[in-house]
A = this chain, B = another copy of it.
């Protein structure tokens, strides 16, 4: 159930000796939080985007790659319901690229950041004989609420997603709008208990929220909002569950808060209730006995049968 990436992230987090007073949020969430003097704090995230993995320069221009690199980190800011501040970008540039390509990249970075007031304030450029790698590090600050973490989901919460899911590889992964404004509006209107951005697919990311919150979840297959791209695929549900790179928000709120969001939507982007947070059964806490075959995160199919929702989204390792 746990991806190789999550296993190594958990190992990294376990090694961490970072003081929780200085770093209220450490390894394992969408961003880390750094406490500063006078009660101020910043959050920081980093993402590495690679030619041939996250984009294909033989198909798209470098401008779009730069724009996507910013949008991915902005989506992390959204996942915590925080306000983007600025980014630094380091680049490994193929040796046949020069200042023309750098200017295109710069245009994409600016186009990505500008709608969210996120300035480019520094970077590093090195040339090598290999494909393009772009690493963005982004700072944000808390909005009107505390940063929203992955580990706050509570049994009884409603599980929600923004927008629609699946098939982003057909183009949306390059031009999605990071849900920064949606996250800030929802957090202000309701009390979000847990949130993550859907970067690796609903099946993987819902398992992450549940594992970190020590809860289960039951979602309804026929409630999952399918994108037009997902509908075109052979298995639309699998596409919505596992394709990844939707960059929509997955969050949990109390039933009361959910009702509030439905009666006065804080943003024009649709919010859909897809399920409920459940108690972990005892057998799932220890995960050692013979009854631990079944996972805590489940999906009820259209035929009424319930099965485990296995994390089958994108694994970076």
Chain A residues near B (Cβ < 8 Å): 4-5, 7-8, 11-12, 15-19, 22-23, 26-27, 31-32, 34, 36-40, 42, 44-48, 50, 52-54, 85-86, 88-93, 98-99, 102-103, 106, 110, 119-131, 133, 135, 137, 139, 141, 316-317
Contact = CB atoms under 8 A, between A and B. Distances in A.
Contact of A34 (B98, B130, B135, B139): B139
| Copies of this chain | 2
Given A4-B99, A32-B122, A52-B129, A317 B85 contact: no
Nearest to A314: B126
A99 B6 CA distance: 11
B90 A26 contact: no
B27 A120 contact: yes
Contacts of A53: 126-128
Given A50-B130, A124-B135, 6 more contacts: A8-B99, A15-B106, A18-B120, A44-B88, A48-B124, A48-B126
Contact of A27 (B11, B123, B139): B123
B123 A46 contact: yes
A197 B219 CA distance: 55
A128 B86 contact: no
Contacts of A119: 16-19, 22-23
Given A48-B135, A86-B32, A127-B316, A18 B103 contact: no
B121 A32 contact: yes
Contacts of A122: 26-27, 31-32, 44-46
Contact of A48 (B18, B31, B34, B91): B91
Contacts of A47: 90, 124
A127 B18 CA distance: 26
Contacts of A139: 34, 42, 44
A77 to B, nearest CB: 13
